[in-house]
Structures are given as structure tokens and as C-alpha cells.
Amino acid sequence: MGTLPAYLKSGEIARLIPVIADTRREQRAASVFLSILSAVPDYAERLLGSLGLRIGKRTTINSFTEVVFGNRSSDQNDRPDGLLIVDRGHSSWSALIEAKIGNAQIDQAQVERYLNLARTNAVDAVITISNQFVTRPDHSPIAVSKAIRKKAALYHWSWKFLLTEAILLQSKAAIRDPDQAFLLREFIRFLSHGSIGVSGFTQMPAAWRNIGTQLQSGASLSRNSKDVIEVVNGWHQEIRDLTLRMSHHLSVDVDIKLSRTHAADAAQRLKDDCESLADKNLLHAVLQVPDAAADIGIFADLKTRTIRVGMEIDAPQERKRTPARINWLLRQLKETQPDNLFVRIIWPSRAKDTVCSLSDLREERPDFSADSSQAPRAFEVFHLTTDARRFSGRRTFIEELESAVPNFYRSVGQYLQAWRPKPPKPPEKADSQPDADAEDPESNKKGPESNKQKPDPAAQAADPQPLAGNRHTALLDIPPFLVRT
């Protein structure tokens, strides 16, 4: 059990069963979480690993709640919800914890004060926890200047992320200690209860309706408008929540596929996605499912009010004809119900893609000879949601999206298999060529042929003969006047 650090004026060791009033839900949830982090090393390894910290066998984790620093300014009443200390023997790492629960949002001014407090007391980071979602832990739901971030690192976890990580760890049966496994199960039960205040992203911001109305009236969008920024921020939170739902659903770590630029700079990602929404009226995301045939592409078209979820795979190149390549795809989808499913046939070069419903492709087997003289290069199988009324609703849009993606993976994604070329085979030896290593039964016979000198292997290695093509050296006759005697 850790002792209170000298730089703290007061604080309590994080308790699994805290004696805290029911009205103080944030402090209670923070205390339970920090105590589990100290008691279950495997869970701490997963969470702290997301921050880039390595946890060894000799690492000890101490956590405290309601901490008050001794050298804080007298005019400040800030009291962080927790302090986390990771002692790795040769070095230590620490972080202040600020937790919000329910609909409470992270406060920018408060976090900036905590960053200053962390720097003053040589604390390495500030970790915020709330029901707000971010793509990566090193992104933040609030805008904090880079100058303030230099004082201490700033990270963010959502409660849904903490719950999902615990569920994934339990599903893999990775914890062998029965006491630790019991504690983790109780923690999952605690966060899953409705009274605690942990929730997912349930509705788009109010600007969602405004954007929809503008587009339906024919107006254009400005990439710098407040409504566009709010909608894109909401989209980013929903996609993160969706990855956690898919992770829980599939018991694997589903993640968002980002470019290096967007992964390193959340502000640049926000700017680029605002530009896409303003110019193309599209919200777009890509999910990565481990071992799946392809990534899952998600498109929300605010102009047509449709949701498109699909996967694209290459066609088998060893099959030369179009029907053979289409049959290869259809065999993978033989158990799939064709409702609202479509196939985009991607032709090589500049030929226009062909889109048809899965049911038509199964039953009619259309003739594509007029579309292209070559076989398809790839296929995209996608689901299209066209209920404009539900698309327009702030809450019903989220419901449609969170239904469409898991259903698509259940009916299509789990069955698709990526084509891979067969490994190369060595050339077969011709029947007329004798085995060089076999003994020649005629070699002992006497005659003119037997007296010929056998070729020198070293000379052959120095001057190898071509394996294919014209043997030009055998076609050259050297003139007598060039022959040296």
C-alpha cells in the first residue's frame, strides 16, 4: 500500500469501496477505477500501454484521490480527482486525474490550471476521463494550446473505452489470478450499471438539423462555420464510440484507420474533414478489423441522406473470365441475405464501374461483355441505408449507423476472403533431359562417343547457358582469319 507523497498536503488512498456520498458520482467512479488499476496489473498494462508506457513485472502502481498539493496558490480551490504514480524502480511516472461523469464536459480552464499544477509539482501528465470520445488517448476533447501542453502531457480516456478494455481483457481469459479476475468482473459490472452514468455517444449535436436544412434548400456550406465544425466533432466522437462497440461485439481491437498526419494532429484531421463536408457533403471513416479481408468504409452523404457501409477486395487474377471472377465472389456470399446489398464491379483502366444489387447479380447473371473487354479488377460489396427521415434525426441517425455497421459485418464482412496469388512453383524437368546426378549406364561402353571429354562443371558455372530464348552463341561462326592459332 503506497504512502502519501511528500508534496501532497492531503489525499486518500484510492479505495475499491469508497466511503463517498452518492451525490459525488465522479469521485466514487474515479476511486473505484484507480483502485482497479493498482490491483489488476494486466488491465493497467493495457491502459498505460495506450499512453506509450511499458509496465514490467517489478512495476508498482499507487493511486490516491482527493489530492491537495502543499504549494498550491491560496486563491485556488482546485482539487484533482486523483493522482496516479507508476514506479518502475529506476524511474517513475505520475499523472493527475480529472474525471467527469454523465453529461458533464471537460472544462478547458480547469484542465489548463491542472497542467500548470502538474508542472509546478513535477507531475508528468494530466489524464481526463469523461463520456466524451477521442480517436486516440493523446488527442483531447478540448482545445489546449501547444504552449500549455509543453508544461505536461495531456491525455484523455472515455469511460466507454475503460469499460471496453476491461471487457476485451476478460473475454480473452488473460488474467490467471482468480482474485484479479473477480475484481475485473466486478469493475465491469460497476461501470455497466445505469446508475453510474457511463454512456456512449447517443446523438449528433444540434447543428446536425441546421446542416441538413441548408443542404436540402440548395445552400452551400462553409468549412469554417460553427455548424460544420460541431457536426464533424460529433462524427469523430460517434466513430470512436462505434469502434468500441465493434470491439465489444467481435472481442477484438477494432480501430480507426488514420493517415500519419491525422493520427499526429487532431486539429488537422478536423480541418480536412470539415473541408470534405463543405465541398462534398460527405462524412467518411474507415474501420480496421483484425484479420478481416478488407477495411470497412463508412460514408454518410448529407445531400442524399444515405449511409453506405462497404468493403472492397481484389478479384482473383488467375481466373481470366468475368463470370469466373463473379462466381468466386458469389460463393463467398451464399449465406448472405441480399436486402439492401449492392456490388460495385471495378473494371481495369478507365472503364466505368458497374453497380447492381446482390439479388440481381445472383439471379440474372447479367452479361458484362459490353462494359469492358477485360475481367473485373476488384469488387466492392456495400450496404445502403436510404431512410431519409431517420437520417435527419439527431438520435435516429446514430441508431441507424450503429445498426448498419455491425449488421453489414455480420452478413458480409465475416464471409469475405481476400484473394492472394498462389506461390510460384519451380519449372518441371523435361522428360528428354536426363538426371545429371544419375549414373549413365552407357558411359562404360567403348566407342567414339565415349572417348569425348566431359564438360568441366567449373567452366559451365563461369559461362552459364541461358535457360530460355535464342542461344545466340551457337549461331555464330567465327571466320578463319579471326581464329588465333
Q: What string of DSSP letters covers 262-292?
A: HHH-HHHHHHHHHHHHHHH-EEEEEEE-TT-
Confidence of residue 480 (pLDDT cuts 50, 70, 90): low
Read off the pLDDT band of 438 (50, 70, 90): very low
For residue 294, pLDDT over 90 is answered with yes
HSE-up of residue 432 (Cα within 13 Å, Cβ side): 0
For 341-354, what is the mean pLDDT? 89
Which residues have a Cβ under 8 Å from the Cβ of 65 and sit 6 or more positions away?
11, 12, 13, 14, 15, 18, 27, 30, 31, 34, 81, 82, 83
Alpha carbon distance 308, 301 (integer Å): 8
Among residues of the chain, what percentage have pLDDT more than 90?
A: 61
- pLDDT mean across residues, the chain: 86
- Euclidean distance between CA atoms 304 and 398, whole angstroms: 17
Mean pLDDT: which of 69-73, 86-90, 98-102, 472-476 is highest?
98-102
Q: Give the chain's radius of gyration (CA, Å).
A: 33
pLDDT reported for residue 10: 83
- By DSSP bridging, strand 378-385 and strand 306-314 are antiparallel
pLDDT at 441 over 80: no
Which residues, listed in sequence order, are joined to residue 296 by a DSSP beta bridge? Answer: 287
Dump pLDDT digits (tens) for 53-80.
988 888 899 999 988 887 755 445 778 9
The answer to whether the Cα torsion of 327, 329, 332, 333 is positive or negative is: negative
Query: Please, which residues bridge with residue 385 across strands?
Result: 307
Query: Tell me, what DSSP letter sits at residue 65?
Result: E
Cell of 121: 509539482
CA nearest to 122, candidates 98, 93, 147: 93
Domain ranges of the chain: 8-192, 207-413
With a cut of 90, say whether residue 24 has pLDDT above it.
no
Between 171 and 383, the more confident residue is 383
Residues belonging to the chain = 485
Question: Is the pLDDT assigned to residue 455 strictly greater than 90?
Answer: no
| Sequence-ordered strand ranges (E) for 248-402 | 255-256, 282-288, 296-301, 306-314, 341-346, 354-357, 378-385
Cell 511528500 locates to 6
**Cell numbers for 304:** 442524399
> Rounded mean pLDDT of 266-282?
95
Dihedral in degrees, nearest 10, Cα atoms 179, 184, 187, 191: -170
Cell output for 268: 488537422
Whether the pLDDT of residue 384 is over 80: the answer is: yes
Lowest-confidence region among 98-112, 143-157, 377-391: 143-157
CA distances from 222 to 277, 292, 337, 387 (A): 9, 37, 41, 26
- Tell me which of 189 and 68 has the higher pLDDT: 189
Q: What is the dihedral of CA 31, 35, 38, 42, to 10 degrees?
A: -110
Residue with the bigger pLDDT between 38 and 5: it is: 38
Give the model's confidence band at 436: pLDDT under 50 very low, under 70 low, under 90 confident, else very high. Answer: very low
CA angle (196 as vertex; 191, 197 as ends), nearest 5: 105
The CATH fold assigned to 8-192 is: Trna Endonuclease; Chain: A, domain 1 (3.40.1350)
Among 128, 137, 91, CA closest to 108: 128
| pLDDT at position 273 over 70 | yes
Strand 378-385: give its sheet, edge to edge. 255-256, 282-288, 296-301, 306-314, 378-385, 341-346, 354-357
Spell 266-292 as b/e; 16+ CB within 10 A means b: beebbebbbeebbeebbbbbebebeeb
> 324: number of CA atoms within 13 Å, CB side?
8
288 pLDDT higher than 50: yes
For residue 182, give the nearest of 281, 39, 299 by alpha carbon.
Answer: 39
- 309 pLDDT higher than 60: yes
- Cross-sheet strand order for the sheet of 153-158: 8-13, 60-69, 82-87, 92-99, 125-130, 153-158
Q: What letter does residue 370 receive in the DSSP assignment?
A: T
Q: What is the mean pLDDT of residues 278-289?
A: 96
Query: Is the separation of the CB atoms in 111 and 142 below 8 Å?
Result: yes
Beta bridge partners of 155: 127
Give the pLDDT score at 172: 80
Which has more confidence, 473 or 65?
Answer: 65
pLDDT at 275 over 90: yes
Find the helix or strand (DSSP H, E) in which 249 lies: helix 226-250
Where residue 462 falls among pLDDT bands split at 50, 70, 90? very low
pLDDT digits (tens, 9 = 90+) for 102-136: 999 999 999 999 999 999 889 999 999 999 999 99
Confidence of residue 430 (pLDDT cuts 50, 70, 90): low
Q: What is the pLDDT of residue 176?
A: 86
Tell me the mean pLDDT in the region 31-47. Answer: 93
State yes or no: pLDDT of 213 exceeds 60: yes
The sign of the CA dihedral 232, 234, 237, 243 is: negative
The pTM for the full model equals 0.79
pLDDT grade for 11, boundaries at 50, 70 and 90: confident
Q: Which of 204-213, 360-369, 476-485 has the highest mean pLDDT?
A: 204-213
CA torsion, points 61, 64, 68, 71, in degrees to nearest 10? Answer: -10
Show Cβ contacts of residue 63 under 8 Å, excluding neighbours closer than 6 positions: 2, 13, 14, 34, 35, 37, 38, 82, 83, 84, 85
Residue 221 has pLDDT above 70, yes or no: yes
